[in-house]
Structure 1
Amino acid sequence: MDNQKAFDNALFGVRAQGRLSKSSAGRCAYREASGAKCGVGHSMPDELYDLGFDDGDGVNIKSVLGMDPAIAAHFAGCDTDVLDDIQIAHDSASDLTDFESRMQALADRHNLIYTPKQQ
């Protein structure tokens, strides 16, 4: 996994599911009951996901990386600041249009390639 792959997984994954991922309590979630995933959640293999990652009030990706060596190894090729910014872009977005804008700004900031949504 590298920065561009994590970014693409988030961008294209959230677009494909057509909505942001929120828990039943209204908090952002790596995985929600319906199967929707947050931006970073789209790069997290199902076999490495743990319910504890969504326990509490927004466990950030830097904490998750410290909880599980397998997750840390999976994301070893990614800059944690990029992962954190992907999470913030998702969790702070008010809707999908806002998410797109935040992801475009993130791409510019981290020298990643943003692919505009096809109309």
Structure 2
Amino acid sequence: MLIGNRQEAFDFVVRHLFKQGERAVAEGGGCLYRGPDGTKCAVGCLIPDELYTPRLEGNSVFMLPQRVLDQLPAPSLLNELQIAHDDPTNWWNPTRLRYHLTVIAQHWALNTDALEEAYNNATW
């Protein structure tokens, strides 16, 4: 899967996060690109399976290998989405996560139609 631009990345990530309904975290609480039970973080859901390796864990999006970064648009946007994923208070209820993602969308002048759809379909 190759995401071509910021809007496509934002739409894919917000749909993923609201569908998943939880953070991708290790047993100790630290966030992961790929967590237990198939969970994926805001950036992890964009990393193709063939490029994922556990060695990516613990690195910010800016420190990922170039072969991975070449598959990801707008690392600064993805970093902001990662921060939203990593903040446990955003997972108290879908409204908190929606608010944080709306702020990011406004900062990047992104359309929020996919966000609103994902929020309205959230079951957690």
Which TM-score bucket, shorter chain as reference? Answer: 0.7 to 0.9
Superposition CA RMSD, Å: 1.5
* Structure 1 unaligned spans of 5+: none
Matched, 1:49 2:52: yes
1:118 partner SS: helix
Q: Which runs of 4+ in 1 moved over 3 A?
A: none
2:97 partner SS: helix
Q: What residue identity is the alignment partner of 2:62?
A: K
Measured in 2, the distance between the counterparts of 1:6 and 1:51 equals 22
Structure 1 length as normaliser, TM-score?
A: 0.84
Tell me the residue number matched to 2:109.
111
| CA deviation profile, 1:33-90 (whole Å, cap 9, x unmatched) | 2110111111111111110111xxx4210111xxx23212112xx2221111111111
Number of residue pairs matched by the alignment: 111
Instruction: Judge conservation of contact 2:24–2:36 (CA < 8 Å) in 1.
Output: no
Identity %: 26
Tell me the residue number matched to 2:22.
19
* Structure 2 unaligned spans of 5+: none
